Structure 1
């Protein structure tokens, strides 16, 4: 694997994408097969004034992917979001999806994406890993990082994955309280009735899909999923998937009431 720029500050993260290094006001990551498409999509978001994504600077002379370094605190190091903050998050994701809906790659170029868990259909370009460990909060600015897995997907699949981490929808949670928080996220997004009906199933598919990916990686040796399985990640995702499925009726009732 290509060595990322030496001499910088190694940052946390990089579970699936290799080392992440800060050099001045930039972050350097390994160039991967989806990097050209991701860079072009980020340029689109940047041009539209979307502050929830880092600026993309293309490829360095060394061959690294270069992105804006965003100072702040990762959301998974902060207290759980309030319902008001969940509504703000929903609006932030809606803005992302609306801008993605009008994104068009050049007609002379076919983008190659690196989506790990494909959705059942392709509506828009999604982040696919909207989670507290990928949200940097710096005062009023909130920025999603780690776009390596971006690619075609569905609105509710992307929002459903975010719901797992931000509500959160984990084993041991209080279903009634979680349902209220899920509704706040959906309200902030502005979900219509069809999306509210779709969302519980989308959450279940995405969470179960993560568990199955880890199990498959353990069985085949496919990295980095085999390593993450060995580190115990499936012990979270399996029970979380069971929890989400067990309480689908609670989620639907809160979303549609």
Structure 2
């Protein structure tokens, strides 16, 4: 049991987990049904020497999980929106995926969510948003945080989930200002090159993106019906943003595909 003796500082940025605070050099988060699986994953990452994730400290007297605080900045800034940052992020995701190889893909207890139809290959982070990537220096991504949506999946599905936010595969009206006018196809190609996505997966990438939009919409709609933070996100237009992203992909599929093959 880890005692709480210092002042708690609320941490902002996440969409689906309230009550996250910093206490000294640790982060305290409400525990969930997936916490044991996530802790097993984080301990595995530490054991194999992957330095791009928090470490597990334990649980505190309030039943919250205690993780190490990863210093740096999160969110989208000019330096983190750059092509150099995108290349770095692809490398970080590849190292993470490689580090999960050997971790049991049959372990129960993960948060459910949309997924690929193919057999799992790795434990995907499945939520690599700008708020969940820690940067240091001039656009250098060093770690991913907030693993509560992690689950067994394919490498390609986690790549697609990441590109949804970072290419970004979305209608320009919904993109962050810094990414509103970027060449999405070029950024997808840059990321795939840096990650080392093989040709067979590049040919399938846009189909998987479309599959993810369809299934994410259904999953979010079901979760929103239960209330809580998911309902707040849905009320804020999350479903409409998914629909617009899917329609934008349909219109621009040919030009995006040309960057991939």
Secondary structure of the corresponding residue to residue 168 of structure 2: coil
Give structure 2 stretches of 5+ with no counterpart: 173-179
Q: How far apart, CA to CA, are the structure 2 residues paired with 1:61 and 1:46?
A: 24
- How far the C-alpha of 1:110 sits from its partner, in A, is 4.5
Query: Aligned pair count?
Result: 248
Q: List aligned pairs for 1:88-237, cutoff 5 A.
A: 88-104=88-104, 110-121=107-118, 122-139=120-137, 140=140, 142-172=142-172, 177-218=183-224, 220-237=225-242
TM-score normalised by structure 1 residue count? 0.86
* 1:144-197 Cα shifts (integer Å, max 9, x gaps): 11101111111111000111111112212558x110111000001011111111
Alpha-carbon RMSD across the aligned residues, in angstroms, is 2.4
Contact 2:132 2:145 in 1 (8 A): yes
Contact 1:80 1:166 in 2 (8 A): no
Does residue 238 in structure 1 map to residue 235 in structure 2? no
Contact 2:73 2:135 in 1 (8 A): yes
TM-score normalised by structure 2 residue count? 0.85
Q: How far apart, CA to CA, are the structure 1 residues paired with 2:158 and 2:248?
A: 19
Q: How far apart, CA to CA, are the structure 1 residues paired with 2:71 and 2:34?
A: 25
Q: How far apart, CA to CA, are the structure 2 residues paired with 1:34 and 1:179?
A: 35
